[in-house]
């Protein structure tokens, strides 16, 4: 796997792992692409399929979206197929949900993400990448928000404040934030380390400062899907790559290193 083999040590997340039972996450990406190709044969309109998927998890079912019998048949097939094909990546969701109190589920809906929603989010991320990739690449100003849990945990992080958020100083060779930042800069994308920010406020500010803008996210699956939705609502074309596993302090009692697929990121940007 190129020169980055050392950063792809298989890890288990609190709820999901794109490694499943393998040594890398390539199988996941091949599978999600195969699934989307199949679903688009049933519903060739990418944006229509995306709209159906985004509404599918709402209650009451498909509230606010007019659907035909064909739409509902498509969604039933999508749900059943996703469960069969993607459950291998979400084996820890049920155990995690069983540990959450009712209060915790109410206070943080992301922590309470169901297994079915994980599968729908996986599909949504791939669809959004397909729909908005070219518009993102044409944007005059492109920036990326990279999850802070991707840093090398061995030394103290030497990042410094940038225009939006912290920026990487490249203090260690194997740090995935450094590796990702170098790759992003190669394609004219300004990388920032995402810690805590009001993203909606940030996006609106950047839209005022630039005539055209594109956003790239590298985050855990639920947060990436929600970030992409916010971008679309704000009029910003988004793309993104999910973390290989969710292992930050929000999910676990303390932060643990995780990773993402650098090769897939470059494929997205080419």
Note the pLDDT tens digit of each residue in 63-88. 455 667 777 888 889 999 999 999 99
Contact 116, 88 (CB under 8 A): no
What pLDDT score does 253 carry?
84
The pLDDT confidence band at residue 2, using thresholds 50, 70 and 90, is very low
Burial of 117 (0-12, 13-18, 19+ CB in 10 A): buried
pLDDT of 248 higher than 70: yes
Q: What is the mean pLDDT of residues 88-94?
A: 96
- For 216-243, b/e burial (b = at least 16 CB within 10 A) is bbbbbbbbbbbbbebbbebebbbbbbbb
Tokens of 212: 């055209």
What pLDDT score does 22 carry?
80
> Distance between CA atoms of 207 and 91, rounded to whole angstroms?
40
What mean pLDDT, rounded, does the chain reach?
Answer: 87
pLDDT of 61 higher than 60: no
Those residues whose C-beta lies under 8 Å from the C-beta of residue 123, and which sit 6 or more positions away, are 32, 35, 36, 39, 53, 78, 82
Note the pLDDT tens digit of each residue in 18-54. 998 788 899 999 999 999 999 999 889 999 999 999 8
146 bridge partner residues: 193, 218
Which of 50, 82, 75 minimizes the C-alpha distance to 228? 50
Contact 92, 13 (CB under 8 A): yes
What pLDDT score does 82 carry?
96
């Amino acid at each position: 796997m190129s020169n980055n083999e050392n950063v792809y040590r298989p890890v288990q997340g609190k709820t999901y792992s794109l490694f499943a039972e393998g040594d890398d996450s390539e199988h996941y990406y091949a599978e999600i692409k195969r699934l989307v190709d199949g679903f688009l044969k049933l519903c060739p309109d990418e944006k229509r399929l995306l709209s159906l998927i985004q509404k599918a998890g709402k209650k009451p079912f498909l509230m606010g979206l007019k659907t035909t019998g064909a739409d509902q048949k498509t969604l039933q097939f999508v749900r059943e197929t996703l469960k069969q094909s993607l459950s291998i990546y979400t084996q820890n969701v049920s155990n995690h949900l069983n540990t959450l109190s009712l209060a915790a589920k109410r206070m943080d809906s992301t922590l309470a993400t169901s297994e079915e929603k994980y599968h729908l989010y996986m599909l949504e991320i791939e669809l959004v990448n397909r729909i908005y990739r070219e518009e993102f690449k044409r944007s005059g100003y492109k920036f990326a928000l990279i999850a802070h849990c991707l840093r090398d945990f061995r030394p103290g992080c030497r990042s410094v404040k940038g225009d939006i958020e912290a920026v990487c100083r490249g203090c260690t060779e194997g740090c995935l934030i450094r590796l990702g930042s170098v790759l992003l800069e190669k394609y004219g994308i300004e990388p920032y380390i995402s810690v805590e920010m009001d993203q909606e406020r940030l996006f609106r500010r950047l839209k005022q400062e630039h005539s055209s803008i594109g956003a790239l996210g590298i985050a855990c699956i639920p947060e990436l899907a929600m970030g992409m939705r916010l971008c679309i609502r704000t009029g910003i074309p988004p793309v993104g790559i999910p973390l290989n596993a969710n292992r930050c302090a929000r999910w676990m009692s303390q932060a643990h290193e995780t990773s993402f697929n650098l090769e897939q990121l470059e494929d997205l940007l080419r």
